[in-house]
Amino acid sequence: MRYKHTFPPVYNEQSRLLILGSFPSVASREQQFYYGHPQNRFWRLLAALCGEATPQTVEQKKALCLMHGVALWDVIESCEIEGSSDSSIRDVAVNDLTPILTQCRIREIYANGSTAWRLFQRYQRERIGRDAVKLPSTSPANAAWSFDRLEEAWQVIEDDLL
């Protein structure tokens, strides 16, 4: 089935790093916000790296990002996907990253997981003339990575946080 990304990116003029996912999961599409699956470790991880409490509401999550210079979006604007399975993604149309990149001083682009990174490389890198750093996925499907191991790998974003 074909789905369209239906919620906007998170950013403001203070955003200094852009974290890209692939496409929202079923839980995220239902919540209309990023990393909505209760087992996704993104919010706990970002809060730990920022030295903050883990946000619980969408408003708290947005505030955490904006307070620390984090922009969020996904590589894909629409695609065919089965459930939340990145491996089922087909017939991709990509988001236009230009608004974030022109309105913010993004120092670095990070891809949350291999699929986001691969899709960025394929559809975005040449278009925007910038590369992305591949980080291990915070998805519950990436069970091989413990929270501590994820936190160690994701520490590379700390220099870009406000």
Catalytic annotation on 40?
yes
Sorted by sequence, the CB contacts under 8 Å of residue 93 that are 6+ apart come out as 76, 77, 78, 79
Report strand pairing: 76-80 vs 90-94: antiparallel
CA distances in angstroms from 147 to 10, 60, 108, 120, listed in the order given:
24, 21, 23, 25
* Active-site residue, selected from the candidate residues 40, 95, 112, 142: 40
Q: Judge contact between 10 and 65, C-beta under 8 A.
A: yes
- Which residue carries 């692939």 as its tokens? 22
Q: Judge contact between 62 and 31, C-beta under 8 A.
A: no
For the annotated catalytic residues, the residue numbers are 40
